[in-house]
């Protein structure tokens, strides 16, 4: 899937729960990295950009430390 606002490809994987910087609420977000790149970035502590669709507009932002930790736990539990 392509993010029309940011010209990037969105990974085909389960959405992750993250707090949107714009909406200020927890949403189902899609990483803007492929699955292998996502886990590598998570392990290295690199920035991970995600997006979600809100009112026909894409919101993109970088995951916070808390959202990254939640993603690590979800991966360990096998839910993503």
At 25, list the tokens: 């609420």
pLDDT digits (tens, 9 = 90+) for 16-41: 889 999 999 999 999 998 888 998 99
Q: What are phi and psi of 2, to 5 degrees?
A: -105, 140
Match 């899937």 to its residue by tokens: 1
Report pLDDT for 25.
Answer: 93
Q: What is the pTM of this model?
A: 0.75
The four Cα atoms 67, 72, 75, 76 give a dihedral, to 10 degrees, of -140
Domain ranges for the chain? 2-77
């Amino acid at each position: 899937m392509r993010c029309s606002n940011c010209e990037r490809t969105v990974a085909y994987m389960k959405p992750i729960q993250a707090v949107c910087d714009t909406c200020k609420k927890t949403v189902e977000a899609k990483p803007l990295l492929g699955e292998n790149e996502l886990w590598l970035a998570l392990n290295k502590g690199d920035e991970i950009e995600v997006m979600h669709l809100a009112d026909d507009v894409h919101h993109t932002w970088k995951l916070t430390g808390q959202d990254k930790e939640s993603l690590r736990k979800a991966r360990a539990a096998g839910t993503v």
